Structure 1
Amino acid sequence: MSFQAPALWPEGVIARYATYAAELLQDANVTVDVTTEDLRTAGRCRGCGTSWGNYSCYEHTVKKWAQEHAEKCRALPRPTA
C-alpha cells in the first residue's frame, strides 16, 4: 500500500503536514492543517485535535509548530460512523 495525498485540501488550508500516525497507517487524512483567515494563522491536528495560533502569530511560526507536532503525533481521529 502506498501513501497518497487526498485530492483536495479543506477550504482555507494553506499548508498540510502528515502526522506520524498517517505515515504508519498510510492514511493521508490524519494531518496537521495550517489555515489563515481574517489575519489569524492557526494550526490544528486532525488526529488529536490540538490547535495552536492566534492573531499575533506569524505564518512561519505556525508552520514550524505544525511540522514539529506532526512528526510525533500518533493520535487517530475519532470515527464518525
Structure 2
Amino acid sequence: MNLIAHHRDKAGIKQRDLVAALGWTQARISNYEAGRRTAGLAECRSIVAALNKLGATCTLDEVFPPVNEPSKAA
C-alpha cells in the first residue's frame, strides 16, 4: 500500500508534474499509485524527494507506510 496519490493531491501536484520531475512515464506512476506495481526502495525515495521538491511535505514512511509484521510471540 502507498499513499502517493493522497500526498500528491493534498499538495495540489498534478500527476504529469510528478512524472516530469521524475523523468518516468505516466503509466509507471499510475501503476504505483494504483498498486499494480510495487516500487523498490530507490524508487520510493525518488518519489518522496520529487513530491517534496514540488511542494509536498512528506516523509518516506508517510507515503509508503511500513507494513506491520504479525507478532512472533509464542
- TM-score w.r.t. the length of structure 1 is 0.31
Higher relative contact order (CA 8 A, sep 6+): 2
Richer in helix (by share): 2
Structure 1 or 2, whichever has the larger Rg, is 2
